[in-house]
Amino acid sequence: MLDEGQSITFKGADDIHAKFKDYLESGQFSVGGKKITSECGLIILANIDLFEGQPRQADYIRHLPEMFHDSALMDRFHGIIPGWKIPRFTTDCAAQGMGIKADVFGEYLHQLRTVSHLEFPFGDCPMLKGDSRDVKAVLRLASALSKLLLINPDHDDYEEYVFNPAKDLRARVRSQLLELNPQEFLKPIDVHF
């Protein structure tokens, strides 16, 4: 996780840029001649001023360091969560009784990634068609949402609570790709069953 993403600076940014692209595509990176495989995701948290006296800016990606202005790198991101739609944390939101510690919940989520379908029969996704990176992103996001919400494609609410939110997360990435490279990403996301 990279916090304060809007103000990060990297030494050797070109080398890191190439490693990010490779890791986000293959899940592998090299250190000292050794190739390492990981299933960790990359999260960038950023405080971005979206208003600047005008209606919301369409190209908020430009508030991140220049390294992230590369459409080939950005296309490897699965989704963008609209933090501006998440309400600020208030004391009313704090737990009043028993709760789950964040690292316990994190371990639970980690276990969901590799659990057998026989033990935990959620995470199913229908066969999707469309741009290969869009399909890959929507499948992964929908699988995660399916596991969290315990909803498979045969459930009446699957489209509303799993498939459409997964598409929306990817559509925000596509909107930023359009800002970075309008010639290549002119068409909106088109992922369907």
The answer to whether 162 and 124 have CB atoms below 8 angstroms apart is no
SS3 155: coil
Q: How confident is the model at residue 186 (pLDDT cuts 50, 70, 90)?
A: confident
Q: Which residues of 98-116 are buried (b: 16+ CB within 10 A; e: fewer)?
A: eeeeeeeeeeeeeeeeeee
pLDDT at residue 120 greater than cutoff 90: yes
Average pLDDT over residues 100-128: 89
Q: Give the global pTM.
A: 0.85
- Average pLDDT over the chain, rounded to whole? 87
